[in-house]
Amino acid sequence: MSTNHSFIPFKLDPLTPQELEQQAVELNQQLQKRRSCRAFSDKPVPRSVIENLLKLAGSAPSGAHKQPWRFVAISNPALKAKIRAAAEQEEKAFYQERAPQEWLKDLEPLGTQWQKPFLETAPWLIVIFKKLYGRSSSGKEKYYYVNESVGIACGFLIRALHQCGLATLTHTPSPLNFLSDILERPQNEKPFLLLPVGFPANDAQVPNLSRKTLDETSLFFT
């Protein structure tokens, strides 16, 4: 390899074959318990926890290592109220006017509606923005695979929140543009996902859904 860039050794702590089997089983069992939550407790979550989880999200792989994400974490009650009001305005229009019948029918089993009280109850709202391009002293910096990169970072975050016993919802009021205004983001940042974060409410319920089987989701060529 001829390069001017610097490289460092890469090592992972190897598991024994038994540990490897066990890890995979346990991780699957843990992650099967993750559910989208729409009823949150107002119990606070320390900022330091959110900070560490956002560092973790920022460890995701990204196109040409451009790290094309911006995480905005909001616990400010007035700002949460503003976001709720704007989201509910879009959601009301979605449910009452914009959504095709087929979509509404697909949502029925989830019991969703335009009212989004959790946007105020949850102690944190994390808004993930994708950066379409960077800004450097010499002008625009090109970014690559932005949707893939930011999607993976969100996956890291959702998975880590679950491991911390925290619930979230991949919330996508559509369009999300109101978040750019409220959070005063520049042109190159576009809202990607809104994650309310907190402990589930004591009486939280989730729909009784089943997941596709391995046979339905996967193919092996060995």
Site residues for ligand IYR per CB under 6 A: 91, 94, 107, 110, 112, 171-174
Distance between CA 193 and CA 128 in Å, rounded?
Answer: 5
CB of 198 to ligand IYR, least distance (A): 17
CA distances for 126 relative to 64, 79, 80, 194, angstroms: 25, 12, 10, 6
CB of 217 to ligand IYR, least distance (A): 18
CB of 185 to ligand IYR, least distance (A): 20
**Contact assessment for residue 89 and residue 179, using Cβ atoms and an 8 Å cutoff:** no
CB of 169 to ligand IYR, least distance (A): 8
Indicate the SS3 state at residue 156: helix
Distance between CA 160 and CA 55 in Å, rounded?
Answer: 11
Which residue number, 13 or 102, has a Cβ lying nearer to ligand IYR? 102
Which residue number, 67 or 168, has a Cβ lying nearer to ligand IYR? 168
Q: Residue 113: which residues within 8 A CB-CB, separation 6 or more?
A: 95
Which residue number, 112 or 188, has a Cβ lying nearer to ligand IYR? 112
Distance between CA 175 and CA 42 in Å, rounded?
Answer: 27
Which residue number, 61 or 175, has a Cβ lying nearer to ligand IYR? 175
CB of 207 to ligand IYR, least distance (A): 11
CB of 180 to ligand IYR, least distance (A): 17
Long-range Cβ contacts of 110-114 (<8 Å, 24+ apart): 110/207, 111/207, 112/38, 114/88
CA 171 from centre of chain: 8
Which residue number, 57 or 119, has a Cβ lying nearer to ligand IYR? 119
Which residue number, 107 or 132, has a Cβ lying nearer to ligand IYR? 107
Half-sphere exposure for 95 (CA within 13 Å, toward CB)? 14
Q: Which residue is nearest to ligand IYR (CB)?
A: 112
